[in-house]
Structure formats: structure tokens, C-alpha cells
């Protein structure tokens, strides 16, 4: 039996590696061993061995493909691009692959689908014929002989239907001989992005984008167009326009006519910062009359009809504000000034303005009284006056040095002066030549508080000094502003004080002058006289052109006031 078993095994092996079948080999074995005791037993042995051999040679099981769906891109109203990536072919060749889609979830190849590849592991699909503004669901698929595999589901919405934009044309403004300003307002983009907007115009009605246009950006909302190169005295038709993917839409039509060329329109302002030899002129060229202004500025004279044939100051060209400081004037002289602007049609003039430069008039002292003198470290000489038990300077201090010879800083700019925290002096409006003689210097309180400002043997007046002065002049309580003390202290006349210089007699000889102040609000000379007092809380005293009172107030240390000294 052992020999029989070996022969069966050999027959099976021969059948596996030859063209003969197992049954043929088995028949051969039966013929060779007719004396076998049990043919059934023999055949069973053969079948067992055959089963083992067949099992060891059996192939792996195949499956449908495995794949993923790529994200959508390039979405339009009717098309989109997607695709898939095949992760595994399932052990069988990919026959076909693509994208299937539906307006309902879980699309399959029973729905619409593309046929894109039969051999690539990655593929791209272009879906067409979609409906605008519709949500779709897509899956990549791949098919082999085992079946269909699907990728993950992706959803997207096609672009909506775009309508023409809705817009209006703005009113035309700033019309000149050759230009105008207008624009439009886009209130709806129609569901699509506004890629170009602007205005179109023509000398015929209903202008379009085929006529002259501006390009004023994109998007919705208001926009403005500046149009140039127009013809004078010409009627134009204008419409705003906006472009989106649906096309070009237009706003309502506006009509306007460019103006006839003319000379410029000019305005002259009132001169200010008038000094002994200079003044500041200002004005404006309101419009150029539709023709470019080639020169503008000011003309002035001592007669009442100045022109560009008289004294002129050229500021420039074009339109806009004008300002210029004119020097070299004569003190105490009345001048007439006009702004002007010249274009090709002629020279236009603004309003006629007049002003009178400051005259350096001598201080009017009380000739019925006897004055003394005192000098400071700068060799400035001052009149002095005895009032009761006190001796006062009858002029404002002018020194630029402390009484020990140390220079006091001279500040000449408002922005610096207003932020000082240290001693300084200046001249009213920083103009020494116009104001030093009459009104003296202006000091801040940091300078006053040094105790070194007045000549040796003198001091800056104190509140107590002013009380003594007021009491001597006949008022026991002048703080309420009801006294006539101020009139007794003011210089008479209107050479320096503004009219009416109420109640001024200068009977005391104090000869108070209206030196103004240097701090916001900066006061011109002529309206008030303000003097520092040395003492706590920065006290000061005031005289007024329109009353005869003497009053006082606390002030900021940065304020710039006059100083009167009192003999120790």
C-alpha cells in the first residue's frame, strides 16, 4: 500500500505540470495496479492530495475600485470642474471612471455622469449643462469587472443668474468752460460683480460706452467723475454706466451746458496784522472764469483804485486762497488794496479794502505833572511818577536782560511760546520795530517770578502795590469793576487807545498804554493794557478802552503781559 500511495502522488504532480488531466493519470494507475484491495480507498487518497494542491494555488479575491472625489473649482452658472483619485483598482483593471451627479444626495451612475478614463489613477471631469443657482451633489466613480466603486460625496452651488446693474446718474456740479464734475450711484449689482463703472457723454442724446467714457473703479455705491476737455458754451448729454457679466447698464440721462469764458472771480479779505511798515493781505480766487489764471496776487496804492499798474505782489497762478505779507509801507499812512487774478480774457479785481499803518506817535504824558527818570541794564530810560507814597514807572518795561546782565530768551513763535515752562520775552506780534517804543516788551510769568526783572532798587508791582494805588486814587474796593480808577490811570486820546477810550484823564500820571497780550486769544494793541503782578496764582491787572474801571484776574504762567516796576 505504501508503494501505491507514492505512485498516486507522482500522478497528481505529473497532471499538475502537464497537459494530462488528473482522471487520465488515475485511470493509468488503476490499470497498473489491478490487484488493489480497495479502489474506493485508493480514489479517496487521490482526492485529498488534489484538494491540498488546488488550495495552495488559488488566487486572491478581487473587489470594486476604491477612490476619492476631488473638490470642485471653476464654478460658473452652467459648468464646474472636479475629478477623482483612484486609491485601489480592486485587483482588476479599471474599465471606466468619471463623475456622477444629481440635484439630490447620493448620486450614482444611474444619474448623469461623465466617462473620463480607463487607465489613469487620477482624472479630471468637466461637468456641463448645469442649471444656474442650483445645488448639486457629485461623486467620483470607477468600474472594473467586479463592480462600481464610489468616492466621497461633494456638494456645490452653481453661480446665480446675473441681471443688469441698477444705477442712477448724479447731478452735474462745478461746471466750467471745459470741465464738469458728476458721477453715479450703483444701488444693485444684479447678482454679479461690477467690473467697470463710470460715465459716458456725448453732444447727442443717450450716450453709450461707445462714446467718450471715464473709468471710475468697480463695485457698487457712489462714485464721482471729473470730466475735462469739453468745449465752452456746448450742451452735453451724460449717463452713468456699470458693467457686470450680464452686460452694460445705464443710469438716467442728465443734460448740462458748459459756460462762456469770463474773467476770474476774486475776493479781497480785510488786511490784518497791520504794523508801522507792513501788513498781511489775504483773499481768494473763487474761480478762473473757465480760462486758466496765469497770475494772481495783490495790488495796493495810496489812491482808492489800485491796479496791477501800481504796487503788486504776485502770489502765483490758478485758483484758491491768497495770502502775503507786504513790507516797506510808510507808518501812519492809509492804503487801498485789492486781490487780482489774470487770465486770457483780462484781469479781475476783488473787493476794495483800506487800512492805515500804525503811526509811531509819542506817548502822551500828563504835562501838569513832574516826572522823574530811571534806566535799566539795557540803558533804556523810563519816565517815573510819584503817586501818593509810591514811585511807579510811567512806561512799560523794555529790558531784554535781567538786572544782573543775564540775557532773557527771546521767543518768536506762538507754538513755542504757548508751551513754555521757563522764562522768556517777546515783542507784541514779534514786531520790535512797531511796538517796542510804545508798549515795551511782553514777559511770561516765569520771567516775572525770578525777581531780577526790574532795575536794582525796583521790583515788579505786587497786588498790594495796586491796592495802595487804587486806594490813593479814591476807591477803597475796586475789585467789583465799578470804579473810575482806570480812567485816572489811562493815557488820554486815541493815538494808542481805541476809541472811545472811556473816562481817560491820566490825572495820576500812570499813563497806562494798551499793549495787548501774547497768549490765546492774542490781543492787538489798542484794546487792553495788561500787567503782571508778582505773587502767587499769577495775578494780573487790566485797563480797558471802553470803560474806566481797573480790574484783575489770575492767568496762566505762559501768558505774555506788560510789566510796571515800583520803587522799593
Left if phi > 0, otherwise alpha if psi is -120 to 50, otherwise beta: which for 132?
A: beta
- Mean of the per-residue pLDDT values of the chain: 88
- State whether 446 and 526 are in the same domain: yes
- State whether 136 and 179 are in the same domain: no
Q: State the Cα–Cα distance between residues 216 and 183, nearest whole angstrom.
A: 9
- State whether 110 and 183 are in the same domain: no
Domain boundary among 321, 356, 391: 356
In the predicted structure, residue 4 carries a pLDDT above the cut 70: no
- State whether 332 and 210 are in the same domain: no
Is 365 domain-assigned? no
Helix (H, G, I), strand (E, B) or coil at 54: helix
Average pLDDT over residues 291-310: 96
Is 270 domain-assigned? yes
Is 20 domain-assigned? yes
Is 366 domain-assigned? no
Average pLDDT over residues 228-253: 94
Could you tell me whether strands 135-143 and 122-127 are parallel, antiparallel, or unpaired per DSSP bridges? unpaired
Higher pLDDT among residues 210 and 55, named by residue:
210
- State whether 443 and 537 are in the same domain: yes
Left if phi > 0, otherwise alpha if psi is -120 to 50, otherwise beta: which for 493?
A: left
Q: Is 189 exposed, middle or buried (0-12, 13-18, 19+ CB in 10 A)?
A: buried
Q: How confident is the model at residue 30 (pLDDT cuts 50, 70, 90)?
A: low
The pLDDT of residue 21: 46
Q: State the Cα–Cα distance between residues 67 and 138, nearest whole angstrom.
A: 13
Helix (H, G, I), strand (E, B) or coil at 112: strand
Q: State the Cα–Cα distance between residues 14 and 125, nearest whole angstrom.
A: 53
Range of the domain at 507: 372-567
Q: How confident is the model at residue 137 (pLDDT cuts 50, 70, 90)?
A: very high
Average pLDDT over residues 251-258: 95
Average pLDDT over residues 448-461: 96
Q: How confident is the model at residue 15 (pLDDT cuts 50, 70, 90)?
A: very low
Is 247 domain-assigned? yes
The pLDDT of residue 41: 52
Counts of helices then strands in the chain (DSSP H, E): 8, 34
Is 362 domain-assigned? no
**Over the stretch 89-106, which tens digit does the pLDDT of each residue have?**
999 999 999 999 999 999
Q: Could you tell me which of 77, 264, 275, 278 has the C-alpha nearest to residue 177?
A: 264
Q: How confident is the model at residue 48 (pLDDT cuts 50, 70, 90)?
A: very low
Q: How confident is the model at residue 536 (pLDDT cuts 50, 70, 90)?
A: confident
Q: State the Cα–Cα distance between residues 326 and 281, nearest whole angstrom.
A: 7
Average pLDDT over residues 241-251: 94
Average pLDDT over residues 327-353: 96
In the predicted structure, residue 124 carries a pLDDT above the cut 80: yes
Higher pLDDT among residues 361 and 37, named by residue:
361
Q: Using an 8 Å Cβ cutoff, are 142 and 83 in contact?
A: no
The pLDDT of residue 28: 54
The pLDDT of residue 518: 81
- State whether 148 and 45 are in the same domain: no
- Percentage of the chain with pLDDT > 90? 71
The answer to whether the predicted template modeling score (pTM) of the entire model surpasses 0.75 is no
Is 132 domain-assigned? yes
The pLDDT of residue 115: 92
The pLDDT of residue 160: 87
Q: Which three cell numbers stand for residue 223?
A: 462714485
- State whether 330 and 247 are in the same domain: no
- State whether 124 and 216 are in the same domain: no
Q: What is the CATH number of the domain that holds 224?
A: 2.60.40.10
- State whether 448 and 560 are in the same domain: yes
The pLDDT of residue 51: 47
The pLDDT of residue 313: 97
* Range in 83-87, 424-428, 509-513, 521-525 the model is least confident about: 521-525
In the predicted structure, residue 29 carries a pLDDT above the cut 70: no
Beta pairing partners, 325: 280
Number of structural domains the chain divides into? 5
- State whether 229 and 327 are in the same domain: no
Most confident of 8-17, 317-326, 476-485: 317-326
**CA 568-398-478 angle, 5° bins:** 55
* Range in 231-245, 304-318, 391-405, 463-477 the model is least confident about: 463-477
- State whether 290 and 349 are in the same domain: yes
**Over the stretch 520-531, which tens digit does the pLDDT of each residue have?**
666 677 889 999
The pLDDT of residue 47: 54
- State whether 417 and 333 are in the same domain: no
The pLDDT of residue 57: 44
**Over the stretch 359-397, which tens digit does the pLDDT of each residue have?**
888 999 999 999 999 999 999 999 999 999 999 999 999
The pLDDT of residue 54: 47
Q: Which three cell numbers stand for residue 35?
A: 490487484
Is 400 domain-assigned? yes
Q: State the Cα–Cα distance between residues 224 and 158, nearest whole angstrom.
A: 34
Amino acid at each position: 500500500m505504501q508503494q501505491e500511495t507514492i505512485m498516486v502522488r507522482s500522478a497528481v504532480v505529473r497532471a499538475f505540470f502537464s497537459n494530462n488531466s488528473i482522471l487520465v493519470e488515475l485511470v493509468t494507475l488503476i490499470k497498473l495496479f489491478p490487484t488493489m484491495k480497495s479502489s474506493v480507498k485508493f480514489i479517496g487518497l487521490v482526492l485529498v492530495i488534489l484538494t491540498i494542491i488546488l488550495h495552495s494555488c488559488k488566487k486572491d479575491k478581487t473587489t470594486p475600485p476604491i477612490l476619492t472625489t476631488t473638490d470642485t473649482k471653476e464654478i460658473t452658472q452652467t459648468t464646474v470642474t472636479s475629478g477623482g483619485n483612484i486609491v485601489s483598482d480592486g485587483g482588476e483593471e479599471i474599465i471606466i471612471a468619471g463623475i456622477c451627479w444629481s440635484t439630490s444626495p447620493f448620486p450614482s451612475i444611474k444619474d448623469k455622469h461623465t466617462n473620463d478614463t480607463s487607465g489613469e489613477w487620477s482624472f479630471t471631469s468637466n461637468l456641463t449643462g448645469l442649471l444656474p443657482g442650483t445645488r448639486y451633489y457629485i461623486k467620483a466613480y470607477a468600474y472594473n469587472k467586479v463592480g462600481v466603486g464610489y468616492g466621497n460625496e461633494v456638494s456645490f452651488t452653481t453661480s446665480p443668474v446675473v441681471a443688469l446693474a441698477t444705477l442712477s446718474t448724479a447731478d452735474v456740479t462745478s461746471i466750467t468752460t471745459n470741465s464738469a464734475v458728476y458721477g453715479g450711484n450703483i444701488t444693485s449689482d444684479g447678482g454679479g460683480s461690477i467690473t467697470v463703472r463710470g460715465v459716458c457723454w456725448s453732444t447727442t442724446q443717450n450716450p453709450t460706452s461707445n462714446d467718450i467714457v471715464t473709468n471710475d473703479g468697480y463695485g457698487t455705491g457712489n462714485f464721482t467723475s471729473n470730466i475735462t476737455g469739453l468745449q465752452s458754451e456746448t450742451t452735453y448729454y451724460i449717463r452713468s454706466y456699470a458693467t457686470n457679466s450680464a452686460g452694460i447698464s445705464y443710469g438716467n440721462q442728465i443734460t448740462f451746458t458748459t459756460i462762456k469764458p469770463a474773467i476770474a472771480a476774486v475776493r479781497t479779505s480785510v488786511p490784518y496784522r497791520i504794523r508801522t511798515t507792513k501788513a498781511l493781505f489775504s483773499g481768494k480766487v473763487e474761480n478762473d472764469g473757465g480760462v486758466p489764471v496765469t497770475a494772481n496776487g495783490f495790488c495796493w496804492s495810496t489812491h482808492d483804485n489800485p491796479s496791477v499798474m501800481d504796487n503788486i505782489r504776485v502770489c502765483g497762478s490758478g485758483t484758491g486762497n491768497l495770502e502775503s505779507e507786504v513790507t516797506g509801507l510808510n507808518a501812519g499812512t492809509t492804503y487801498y488794496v485789492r486781490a487780482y487774478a489774470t487770465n486770457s480774457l483780462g484781469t479781475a479785481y476783488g473787493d476794495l479794502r483800506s487800512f492805515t499803518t500804525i503811526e509811531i506817535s509819542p506817548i502822551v504824558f500828563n504835562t501838569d505833572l513832574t516826572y522823574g527818570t530811571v534806566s535799566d541794564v539795557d540803558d533804556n530810560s523810563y519816565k517815573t511818577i510819584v503817586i501818593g507814597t509810591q514811585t511807579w514807572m510811567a512806561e512799560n518795561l523794555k529790558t531784554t536782560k535781567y538786572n544782573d546782565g543775564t540775557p532773557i530768551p527771546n521767543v518768536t513763535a506762538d507754538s513755542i511760546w504757548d508751551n513754555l515752562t521757563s522764562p522768556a520775552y517777546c515783542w507784541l506780534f514779534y514786531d520790535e520795530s512797531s511796538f517796542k517804543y510804545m508798549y515795551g516788551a511782553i514777559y511770561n510769568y516765569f520771567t516775572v517770578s525770578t525777581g531780577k526783572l526790574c532795575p536794582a532798587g525796583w521790583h515788579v508791582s505786587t497786588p498790594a502795590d495796586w491796592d495802595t494805588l487804587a486806594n490813593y486814587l479814591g476807591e477803597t474796593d475796586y475789585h467789583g469793576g465799578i470804579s473810575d480808577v482806570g480812567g485816572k490811570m489811562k493815557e488820554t486820546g486815541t493815538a494808542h487807545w481805541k476809541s472811545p477810550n472811556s473816562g481817560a484823564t491820566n490825572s495820576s500820571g500812570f499813563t497806562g498804554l494798551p499793549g495787548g497780550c501774547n497768549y490765546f486769544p492774542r490781543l492787538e494793541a489798542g484794546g487792553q493794557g495788561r500787567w503782571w503782578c508778582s505773587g502767587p496764582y499769577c495775578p494780573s491787572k487790566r485797563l480797558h478802552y471802553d470803560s474806566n474801571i481797573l480790574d484783575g484776574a489770575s492767568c496762566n504762567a505762559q501768558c505774555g503781559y506788560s510789566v510796571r516796576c515800583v520803587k522799593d
